Amino acid sequence: DQQVKQNSPSLSVQEGRISILNCDYTNSMFDYFLWYKKYPAEGPTFLISISSIKDKNEDGRFTVFLNKSAKHLSLHIVPSQPGDSAVYFCAASQTYNQGGKLIFGQGTELSVKP
Partner 1 sequence: NAGVMQNPRHLVRRRGQEARLRCSPMKGHSHVYWYRQLPEEGLKFMVYLQKENIIDESGMPKERFSAEFPKEGPSILRIQQVVRGDSAAYFCASSPEVTQYFGPGTRLTVL
In the region spanning residues 72 to 101, those forming contacts with partner 1, defined by CB under 8 A, are 89, 91, 93, 95, 98-101
Q: Select from 71, 58, 79 the least CA-distant residue to 105.
A: 71
Task: Choose between 77 and 105: whose C-beta lies nearer to partner 1.
Answer: 105
Rounded Cα–Cα distance for residues 96 and 5 (Å): 22
Could you count the other beta carbons within 10 Å of the beta carbon of residue 14?
A: 12
Least gap, CB of 22 to partner 1 (angstroms): 15
Peptide bond into 82 cis (omega under 30): no
Near partner 1 by CB under 8 A, which window of 16-24, 32-40, 56-64, 66-74?
A: 32-40
Least gap, CB of 76 to partner 1 (angstroms): 20
Residue 104 interacting with partner 1 (CB under 8 A):
yes
Rounded Cα–Cα distance for residues 55 and 73 (Å): 9
3-state DSSP assignment of residue 83: helix
Task: Choose between 42 and 69: whose C-beta lies nearer to partner 1.
Answer: 42
Residues contributing to the site for partner 1 (CB under 8 A): 32, 34, 36, 41-46, 49, 89, 91, 93, 95, 98-107
